[in-house]
Chain A
Amino acid sequence: MSLSPVDLPNSYIGRAMPRPNLARLTQGRGEYVSDLSLPRMLHVVFLRSPYAHAEIASIDSSEAAKMPGVARIVTGRELAEICSPWVGVLSHLKGLKSAPQHALAVDRARWQGEPVVAILARSRAEAEDAAERIYVDYTELPPAVDAFAAATPGAVPIHADLGDNIAFERTLDAGDVEAAAAASDHVIAQRFVFGRHTGVTLEARSIVADWNRAAQRLTVHVGSQAPHMMQNIIAKHLAIEEHQVRVLTHDVGGSFGIKVHVYAEDMAVSALAKLMGRPVKFFADRLESFVSDIHARDHVVDGRIGVTRDGRITFFEIDDITGIGPYSVYPRTSAVEANQVVNLVGGNYAVPNYRARARVVFQNKTPTSQYRAVGHPIACSVTEGLVDLAAKAIGMDPVEFRRRNLYADDAYPCTAASGIRFEGLSHHASLDKLLAMMDLPKLRADQAAARVRGVHRGIGLASFIEITNPGPAFYGVGGARISSQDGAAVKLDATGCVTVQSSITEQGQGSAAIIAQVTASAIGVPIERVRVILGDTDNTPYGGGTWASRGAGIGGEAAFQAGRALRDNLLTVAAAILQSTPEHLDIRQGVVVDAADGRARLELSELARIAYFRPDTLPRDMQTELMATRHYVPRDYAFAFTNGIQASYLEVDTETGFIRLLNHWVVEDCGQPINPLLVDEQVRGGVVQGLGAALFEQCRYDDQGQMINANMADYLVPMAGEMPDIAVGHVITPTAESAIGAKGAGEAGTAGAAACVANAVNDALSPFGVVITEIPLTPEVVLQALGRV
């Protein structure tokens, strides 16, 4: 087939169209795990450690056990008998260490919010009542709260067996930074501070597990992004086989990386279901979500950049430290974010000299791990912050400065200083498109006019790169049983309709929609005839799921290949029926036609009828195969990098410190978009998540390791009133690795949003001679920088 998928007749690939099946969700007829109720189901509530660090001397649950509705109360020691502990390390992150973590704390609690006792009761309310009557005798221990202090030689290790609190350290030295610094006209050093935040999925984590003693089988309903990973891990730690565990995801009320991890509560619920022989449900309340969902970011980065007077960047250098809580999260670890920061800083610029260090440190706070755009917002803010400072140092316009240093659009393939490889990016085309969208001269004029009125507005840019379509380099090579390949099984039914079972999952991105679009295009059927099945380990091929912007690029390609294979099978059967050859036939809109003139020859429903019910009328040696399965993983590149650029226009009130967002623009290049409508909304949603980090969101801790704003009234998230409209444009550089050419689009918005906001704030405040490189940019931070508080 010489035509590209996009050029196929009646292709749905590249078409903006609404997602199928959304009516359910608009009518309140979705089925989220939090909605699920099974016969004989028990509810579990976890009593959590009120201390950041404490010995558990004793647990007295005698009074609680007599409370109405209580079925059982289980401690960490008891649960450890049926659920083995885990250690969140990956062997390719050299030296990464962590300690065994139990489903419920055994002997010692290491963060405020760590589950300590499980209470099973008829209702959640009754379990909560009983939890108040459990008396745990804690002996408080000094918590390690500050990452710098915890990393200091001689600091008391949180896990004595590990020797110190350094979970992981990576250094990188490319080119010759010393020589580059010596050859620079200016070297600028700046510290960047990134608040700790969390995902705040609107549906909190929820899981229902049900052990059937007769079938010896565990059915787990959990809003996970990676059901096969969950299946493998639950089986492993309950010492049963994978086929004894079925994982279903149902509708998932938001995820963003929060629901790609294995949580202590997931393992506890699975084990408790096995213990009780009846369904057990956990649905986190919002307060416990804040201290038990993974947190993210929390980095302090000391950055340096060198520049020559003629506008050439000579080197980048970073020293990053991040506090990850007391355990590296299982099985994806808590070292990936810092590792990404090292990989990504400076990666959009043709600068061969780069030195980096990253330290990942244990502390007594909620564990951190991968959350939307892992590491990218940090790398982008550091890179783009330094780039703006360098431009300013030599008095060059930030647009012109970027033009001189971004990788040229014809530079590919190439390898950045950190070793990451690019197949094809479009930094300059994206910048040109952005400038056309935002009308920079007009904005500059508006900014100048506002200054005259004493109103301080600023314009900020942030170019970015984004890792998508990861192969096994992320997890598989490090020993984690997380699939990087995905599969699709495509079947023609007896009425000529198509069912696709795919191993990627849906959390609202539109996974089902794009699988339907790709499959319908590959076979040549109307999209209304395609039904997609996702999120069920019993009914989908083995695969990775949806995370790291991989669903469309990897799962979509598998569906395309499966669809093409089914098409070939169908044409073989059709050729026999029509006494033609497959080469002379095609399938268009569900009908077998003559390839040459498009004349209709055979409905697929008729083909299916013959194949399924009258095979006796087909040639004796023909066994029809109206189902085809294909799997796919990228091989040429470890990751399919995407790129883009964002811009922010905003106003800073220098009296109150409040920032008002006026406009936001994004140009991104995710390769071939399968559904531009969905891509745009991924970008917008991602941007707003980044804007939340830029302006509002922060898990605040006191010096005893207590999270002091663990509720939605005090942990601020972006609401409609504070957010701007967001203009989105595209440049399209398809990946040549796959037939459909798609790269990922889910995280690009988050990658660059905070960086361009910070640059815009500094542009607004330039008359005041201050530079702010800390997020969230709260009024307090702004006023402190201005010396007003």
Chain B
Amino acid sequence: MIEISLTVNGEPVSASVLPRTHLVDFLREELGLTGAHLGCEHGVCGACTVRLDGEIVRGCLVLAVQADGGSVETIEGMSDTGEIADLQQAFIDRNALQCGFCTPGMLIAAQDLLRHGGVPSREDIREHLSGNYCRCTGYHAIVDAVETTAKQREAAQ
């Protein structure tokens, strides 16, 4: 077991973990933060996307020990701070989620694009989200919701 200390959604966390424990399993099983989902466990589907030190990562390709000393943000934390409240509402209004299993990862990936500012083209949105698999929507509504949020944010500035 290895001792780690990190910040998760702004709260300090210390734990002993097996070296082989993936970050997403640590978040889900040890901390009960089940918003990051397991879709493929080999880095393709994006369902386990979280932020580590401000960058989006796949929770299934990062070990918990690699997050030692770092700052992790999950969908639960980003919801509580209100950082993506407008994007979440746009997803709801546009029915840009069906089963919702990809949605936390999709939102975090979309926010990663939107944080750069401006209104990305639909092609850029599609390209940026190309690492996040959604079986339900066919992506059109997701692209609409992200585009709408980008326009709203730009108009608000």
Interface residues of A (CB under 8 A from B): 18-19, 22-30, 32, 34-35, 37, 125, 199-204, 251-256, 283, 285-286, 507-510, 677-678, 681, 684-689, 711-713, 717-723, 725-726, 749
Find the B residue at minimum CB distance from A125.
B20
Beyond A254-B101, A719-B133, 14 additional contacts (C-beta under 8 Å) are A22-B97, A28-B76, A30-B100, A199-B135, A200-B135, A203-B39, A508-B97, A681-B141, A684-B137, A685-B137, A719-B131, A721-B129, A723-B139, A723-B140
Judge whether B130 is part of the interface by a CB distance below 8 angstroms: yes
Interface residues of B in 24-82 (CB under 8 A from A): 28-29, 33-42, 44-45, 47, 74-76, 79
Residues from chain B with a CB closer than 8 A to the CB of A677 are 95
How distant is the Cα of A686 from the Cα of B138 in the complex, in angstroms?
Answer: 7
How distant is the Cα of A718 from the Cα of B129 in the complex, in angstroms?
Answer: 12
Find the B residue at minimum CB distance from A711.
B42
Q: Are B98 and A509 in contact (CB under 8 A)?
A: yes
How distant is the Cα of A684 from the Cα of B129 in the complex, in angstroms?
Answer: 17
Judge whether B143 is part of the interface by a CB distance below 8 angstroms: yes
Find the B residue at minimum CB distance from A123.
B29
Name the 7 nearest CB pairs between A and B, nearest first. A28-B35, A25-B100, A508-B98, A253-B101, A688-B138, A508-B99, A28-B75
How distant is the Cα of A509 from the Cα of B140 in the complex, in angstroms?
Answer: 16
Find the B residue at minimum CB distance from A201.
B135
Q: Are B39 and A28 in contact (CB under 8 A)?
A: no
CB distance from A330 to the nearest CB of B (A): 24
How distant is the Cα of A22 from the Cα of B93 in the complex, in angstroms?
Answer: 10
How distant is the Cα of A255 from the Cα of B37 in the complex, in angstroms?
Answer: 16
Residues from chain A with a CB closer than 8 A to the CB of B153 are none
With A28-B36, A28-B104, A681-B141 already in contact, the answer to whether A202 and B99 are too (CB < 8 A) is yes
CB distance from B111 to the nearest CB of A (A): 12
Judge whether B102 is part of the interface by a CB distance below 8 angstroms: yes
Q: Are A720 and B102 in contact (CB under 8 A)?
A: no
For B133, give its contact among A22, A255, A717 (CB under 8 Å).
Answer: A717
With A202-B47, A510-B95 already in contact, the answer to whether A28 and B135 are too (CB < 8 A) is no
Residues from chain B with a CB closer than 8 A to the CB of A203 are 37, 39, 99, 101
With A28-B74, A125-B20 already in contact, the answer to whether A712 and B99 are too (CB < 8 A) is no
Residues from chain B with a CB closer than 8 A to the CB of A253 are 37, 99-101
List, sorted by A's number, 19 A–B pairs whose CB atoms are closer than 8 Å. Answer: A26-B91, A28-B33, A28-B35, A28-B76, A35-B28, A201-B135, A202-B133, A253-B37, A286-B40, A508-B98, A509-B98, A510-B95, A686-B138, A711-B40, A711-B44, A713-B44, A719-B131, A720-B126, A721-B127
Residues from chain B with a CB closer than 8 A to the CB of A749 are 138
Judge whether B149 is part of the interface by a CB distance below 8 angstroms: no
For B138, give its contact among A283, A507, A684, A712 (CB under 8 Å).
Answer: A684
CB distance from B28 to the nearest CB of A (A): 7
Q: Are A725 and B140 in contact (CB under 8 A)?
A: yes
CB distance from B86 to the nearest CB of A (A): 11
Secondary structure type dominating chain B contacts = loop
CB distance from A395 to the nearest CB of B (A): 36
How distant is the Cα of A494 from the Cα of B88 in the complex, in angstroms?
Answer: 33
Judge whether B13 is part of the interface by a CB distance below 8 angstroms: no
Q: Are A684 and B140 in contact (CB under 8 A)?
A: yes
Q: Are A723 and B138 in contact (CB under 8 A)?
A: yes
Find the B residue at minimum CB distance from A719.
B130
For A508, give its contact among B45, B122, B136, B143 (CB under 8 Å).
Answer: B136
CB distance from B94 to the nearest CB of A (A): 8
Judge whether B6 is part of the interface by a CB distance below 8 angstroms: no
How distant is the Cα of A727 from the Cα of B38 in the complex, in angstroms?
Answer: 32
Residues from chain A with a CB closer than 8 A to the CB of B75 are 27-28
Find the B residue at minimum CB distance from A713.
B44
For A726, give its contact among B42, B93, B127, B140 (CB under 8 Å).
Answer: B140
Residues from chain B with a CB closer than 8 A to the CB of A28 are 33-36, 74-76, 79, 104
For B37, give its contact among A27, A34, A718 (CB under 8 Å).
Answer: A34
For A202, give its contact among B28, B45, B126, B142 (CB under 8 Å).
Answer: B45
Residues from chain A with a CB closer than 8 A to the CB of B42 are 286, 711-713
Q: Are A687 and B130 in contact (CB under 8 A)?
A: no
How distant is the Cα of A19 from the Cα of B28 in the complex, in angstroms?
Answer: 27
Q: Please give the number of chain B residues whose Cβ is less than 8 angstroms from any Cβ of chain A in the complex.
A: 54
How distant is the Cα of A655 from the Cα of B46 in the complex, in angstroms?
Answer: 32
With A26-B100, A27-B88, A725-B140 already in contact, the answer to whether A18 and B95 are too (CB < 8 A) is yes
Find the B residue at minimum CB distance from A723.
B139
Residues from chain A with a CB closer than 8 A to the CB of B136 are 254, 508, 685
With A688-B138, A712-B44 already in contact, the answer to whether A34 and B38 are too (CB < 8 A) is yes
Q: Are B95 and A27 in contact (CB under 8 A)?
A: no
Find the A residue at minimum CB distance from B33.
A28
Residues from chain B with a CB closer than 8 A to the CB of A202 are 37, 39, 45, 47, 99, 101-102, 133-135
Residues from chain A with a CB closer than 8 A to the CB of B79 are 26-29
CB distance from A286 to the nearest CB of B (A): 4
How distant is the Cα of A721 from the Cα of B143 in the complex, in angstroms?
Answer: 10
How distant is the Cα of A726 from the Cα of B88 in the complex, in angstroms?
Answer: 22
For B101, give its contact among A22, A32, A509 (CB under 8 Å).
Answer: A32
CB distance from B135 to the nearest CB of A (A): 5
CB distance from A41 to the nearest CB of B (A): 11
With A28-B35, A713-B42 already in contact, the answer to whether A681 and B99 are too (CB < 8 A) is no
How distant is the Cα of A341 from the Cα of B99 in the complex, in angstroms?
Answer: 29
Q: Which residue, of A28, A199, A285, A722, has the highest number of chain B Cβ atoms within 10 A? A: A28
How distant is the Cα of A515 from the Cα of B138 in the complex, in angstroms?
Answer: 24
With A35-B28, A688-B138 already in contact, the answer to whether A26 and B143 are too (CB < 8 A) is no
CB distance from A587 to the nearest CB of B (A): 29
Scan B117-128; emit 1 where CB is below 8 A from any A CB, else 0: 000001001110
How distant is the Cα of A35 from the Cα of B74 in the complex, in angstroms?
Answer: 15
For A22, give its contact among B74, B100, B102 (CB under 8 Å).
Answer: B100
Find the A residue at minimum CB distance from B99.
A508
Q: Are A720 and B143 in contact (CB under 8 A)?
A: yes
With A34-B38, A510-B95 already in contact, the answer to whether A29 and B76 are too (CB < 8 A) is yes
Q: Are A717 and B135 in contact (CB under 8 A)?
A: yes
With A23-B88, A28-B74, A34-B37 already in contact, the answer to whether A688 and B103 are too (CB < 8 A) is no
Residues from chain A with a CB closer than 8 A to the CB of B98 are 254, 507-510, 681, 685
CB distance from A682 to the nearest CB of B (A): 8
Residues from chain A with a CB closer than 8 A to the CB of B133 are 200, 202, 712, 717, 719
Judge whether B150 is part of the interface by a CB distance below 8 angstroms: no
Find the A residue at minimum CB distance from B77.
A28
How distant is the Cα of A75 from the Cα of B136 in the complex, in angstroms?
Answer: 37
Residues from chain A with a CB closer than 8 A to the CB of B20 are 125
Residues from chain A with a CB closer than 8 A to the CB of B129 are 719-721
How distant is the Cα of A719 from the Cα of B39 in the complex, in angstroms?
Answer: 14
CB distance from A711 to the nearest CB of B (A): 6
Residues from chain B with a CB closer than 8 A to the CB of A721 are 126-127, 129-130
